[in-house]
Amino acid sequence: MFSTALLILWVSVSCTEVLTQPGSMTVRPGQSLTINCKVLYSITSEDTAWIRQPAGKALEWIGYIDYAADISYSDKLKNKFSFSRDTGTKTITLQGQNLQTEDTAVYYCARYTVIHTNAPIIQKPRD
């Protein structure tokens, strides 16, 4: 007997209280998903990242969309997810295609606050 498992995606609200997402969504394997993240900050001057965390596992970087709408994706997930934005409603959208049970996770949108530097990174050997 063949049973189709449901893919359950729990989506949480950021603790900073400036990002609003739906509480939870359920998607069948092979289907697509759209999650909207409404923010209070200006998306034309701030970047927004998408991150996910499967149950019992570490956070996994999906990617980010910057203030100029340039997008960077994780190499592992670039063929599965895409981002878009609506500056009028301050909404960042995550779209997933052909999702499978291994994509079950908590999905977070987050204000991206990395400080950029042109300084080289040097790893010193242990003594």
CA atoms within 13 A on the CB side of 52: 22
Among all chains, which residue has been given the structure tokens 């603790």?
Answer: 15
Q: Is 33 exposed, middle or buried (0-12, 13-18, 19+ CB in 10 A)?
A: buried
Q: Provide the pLDDT for residue 6.
A: 39
What would the pLDDT profile of 29-69 be if each residue is shown by its tens digit? Answer: 999 999 999 998 899 999 999 999 999 999 999 999 999 99
Task: Say yes or no to pLDDT of 12 above 60.
Answer: no
DSSP 8-state class, residue 88 = T
CA of 22: how far to CAs of 1, 31, 62, 104, 114, in Å?
A: 34, 18, 18, 15, 26
Task: Say yes or no to pLDDT of 2 above 50.
Answer: no
Report domain extents, the chain.
7-112
Write down the CATH number for the domain with range 7-112: 2.60.40.10
| Percent of the chain surpassing pLDDT 90 | 57
Q: Provide the pLDDT for residue 1.
A: 39
The model's confidence at residue 122, banded by pLDDT at 50, 70 and 90, is low
Q: Are 100 and 34 in contact (CB under 8 A)?
A: no
Write down the mean pLDDT value for the chain.
81
Q: Are 51 and 101 in contact (CB under 8 A)?
A: no
Which amino acid is present at 124? K
Tokens of residue 20, six digits: 């609003």
